[in-house]
């Protein structure tokens, strides 16, 4: 396929937005391709998979996702058996929801009980300087939700099943897995497990400082791998 005709489909995380996804995974990672950033406000992984499936047919060459979006894209890729290039950033769990998923539920509870503005102020007040990019991303996305919609979205995500070990093992094509050090919502050990399961995978563990310096996941370690694909 002509590289200029390739299609990149990106799914964002629960409670996030296409605008945040396009900041963390900017289109200049593959400037000759057509990029589609999906929008989901439900947190329903089945809805995200369905939306991605429609956008990816008859065969998007690149599937990317962040957090819950990574889960959805991995499930889609596992069911399609179609070779593709993948970038899965910040996977949170494997299989049935676990203690990490429960943290997402607690975040939804906090939103429901305290409100979005109160939660954002609390996060900002306790954020380290290298975490400011997270605060900025949450402000950008959460401000577009109502309290009930955001809480519902996070609760739905917390109930969702992630890809199983068997699902991950069936994914075909070069894959980058991005983990983040010191992120309790997206443990780097989960990223390592994904990379161990997926054939042709490359694991990149980023620090908060690295993402803050570059303003995205487009660090040299990631762009070097992507450039070899284009």
Q: Return mean pLDDT, the chain.
A: 94
Helix (H, G, I), strand (E, B) or coil at 35: strand
pLDDT tens sequence across 32-63: 899 999 999 999 999 999 999 999 876 667 99
* β-pair type (34-37, 62-66): unpaired
pTM of the prediction? 0.95
Q: Where are the domains of the chain?
A: 3-97+162-229, 99-155
pLDDT of residue 111: 98
As a whole number, mean pLDDT of residues 89-100 equals 97
CATH no. for 3-97+162-229: 3.40.50.1820
Quote the distance between the C-alpha of residue 12 and its chain's center: 5
pLDDT of residue 1: 37
What are 148's two structure tokens? 């009930």
Residue 6 clears pLDDT 90, i.e. is over it: no
pLDDT tens sequence across 112-138: 999 999 999 999 999 888 889 999 999
pLDDT tens sequence across 216-228: 999 999 999 998 8
* pLDDT range class, residue 75, cuts 50, 70, 90: very high
Residue 2 clears pLDDT 50, i.e. is over it: no
* pLDDT range class, residue 229, cuts 50, 70, 90: confident
| Burial of residue 126 (number of CB atoms within 10 Å: 0-12, 13-18, 19+) | exposed
pLDDT of residue 58: 67
pLDDT tens sequence across 108-119: 999 999 999 999
């Amino acid at each position: 396929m002509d590289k200029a005709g390739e299609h990149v489909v990106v799914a964002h995380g629960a409670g996030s937005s296409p605008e945040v996804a396009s900041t963390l995974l900017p289109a200049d990672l593959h400037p000759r391709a057509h990029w589609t950033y999906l929008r989901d406000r439900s947190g329903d992984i089945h809805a995200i998979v369905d939306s991605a499936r429609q956008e990816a047919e008859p065969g998007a060459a690149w599937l990317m996702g962040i957090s819950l979006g990574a889960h959805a894209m991995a499930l889609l890729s596992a069911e399609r058996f179609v070779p593709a290039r993948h970038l899965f950033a910040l996977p949170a769990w494997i299989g049935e929801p676990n203690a990490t998923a429960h943290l997402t539920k607690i975040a939804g509870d906090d939103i429901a009980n305290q409100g979005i503005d109160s939660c954002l102020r609390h996060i900002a007040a306790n954020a380290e300087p290298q975490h400011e990019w997270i605060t900025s991303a949450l402000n950008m996305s959460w401000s577009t939700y109502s309290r009930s919609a955001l809480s519902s979205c996070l609760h739905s995500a917390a109930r969702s099943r992630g890809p199983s070990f068997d699902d991950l093992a069936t994914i075909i094509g070069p894959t980058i897995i991005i983990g983040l050090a010191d992120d309790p919502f997206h443990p780097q050990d989960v990223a390592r497990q994904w990379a161990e399961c997926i054939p042709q995978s490359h694991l990149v563990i980023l620090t908060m400082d690295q993402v803050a310096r570059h303003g995205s996941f487009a660090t040299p370690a990631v762009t070097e791998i992507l450039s070899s694909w284009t």
